[in-house]
Amino acid sequence: MAESQIPTVDLSPFLTQDDEAGKKKAMETITKACSEYGFFQIVNHGVPVDLLQRALELSRIFFDYPSEEKLKSSAPLDAPLPTGYKTQPQQSPDKNEYLLMFPPGSSFNVFPQNPPQFKQVLEDVFSKLTKAAVVVETIVNQCLGLPTNFLKEFNHDRSWDFMTALHYFPATESENNGLTQHEDGNCLSFVFQDNTGGLQVLKDGEWIPVMTTKGTLIVNLGDVIQVLSNNTFKSATHRVVRPKGRSRHSFAFFHNLQGDKWVEPLPHFTNHIGKAPIYRGFRYSEYQQLRLRNKTHPPTSPQDEIGINHYKITS
């Protein structure tokens, strides 16, 4: 396996400094990474490092509780969305448990009462990651050469974002999948993780380990950006491999899209430059339902799993 080659980008020129040279360097790095495989890391992103570490610490405490305590934070079976504590379905090859939340104030959220302060920390992390995601989305917009604020106006509804705290069980002798190979279906995602590692990204046919330093946020693009840009920017292929003898704790934040949005390659990347669209248009909620079916009714073969190529135009 190749050594880690995931570029790290300093966001301070976009937040606190009048540094055009720094912005240019960051955009060049992001453009290259997103054109090739859709992954990069960010530092000086505006989310306090101590807050991220506190979230990981409290998450570890929560997932160490007995099942009966964790299940107190589960959503009712008739809930419209699976918020709160969940484990992967028994038939799933992925071996993890998680705690899912929507934006602070959402009526869907089910928060743990213990450990103390966990609810407040989750809400603080969510709010700050939301702001950081808007900054990154604006930078991606610039890197793609789109009109100012195009993506921000296209994706203006933040009530569809969500975040998960994840616990991956140690690998066994016969199986080490933590999260099987996939791409995210949204716009962009953030991940921060403990020092166990396990996250890998596919680049040039090789799985690259993503090992981060304290306070670093991992960013990957999702299928929506790939389709809008007509494959100019790539949706990152990634997976989690569980290590032996160690649990893995991480958080994933999903900068999402409102379900009724229509998604198709933009004219900026098709007829404006004389290029045919690679994908047919679709409603975002339709695609998410197909992806959900992959989880509730896992296909017998990975080749049968529905991804963004379901909408690919074949000649």
Q: By residue range, what is the domain housing residue 294?
A: 8-311
58 found inside a domain: yes
Torsion of CA 258, 314, 206, 186, to 10 degrees: 0
196 found inside a domain: yes
CA distances from 274 to 86, 211, 229, 269, 281 (A): 47, 40, 14, 8, 18
182: domain CATH number is 2.60.120.330
Is the pLDDT at 91 greater than 80? The verdict is: no
38 found inside a domain: yes
Distance, CA of 191 to CA of 169 (rounded, Å): 18
Is the pLDDT at 178 greater than 60? The verdict is: no
Is the pLDDT at 173 greater than 90? The verdict is: no
The bridge status of strand 39-43 relative to strand 8-10 is parallel
Q: What angle do CA 101, 96, 89 make, to 5 degrees?
A: 85
CA distances from 107 to 46, 81, 222 (A): 27, 11, 27
170 found inside a domain: yes
282 found inside a domain: yes
168 found inside a domain: yes
Q: Which two tokens stand for residue 149?
A: 């604020």
The bridge status of strand 248-255 relative to strand 262-263 is unpaired
The bridge status of strand 282-283 relative to strand 188-193 is unpaired
- pLDDT-based confidence at 1, cuts 50/70/90? very low
Mean pLDDT in residue range 7-35: 93
3 found inside a domain: no
Please write the tens of the pLDDT for every residue from 242-299.
Answer: 888 889 999 999 999 999 999 999 999 999 999 999 999 999 999 999 888 776 677 6
- pLDDT-based confidence at 236, cuts 50/70/90? very high
- Number of domains within the chain: 1
Q: At what angle do helices 118-143 and 49-63 cross, to 10 degrees?
A: 130
250 found inside a domain: yes
- Per-residue pLDDT at 96: 86
Distance, CA of 185 to CA of 231 (rounded, Å): 14
Mean pLDDT in residue range 293-307: 72
Q: At what angle do helices 118-143 and 20-36 cross, to 10 degrees?
A: 90
- Per-residue pLDDT at 2: 47
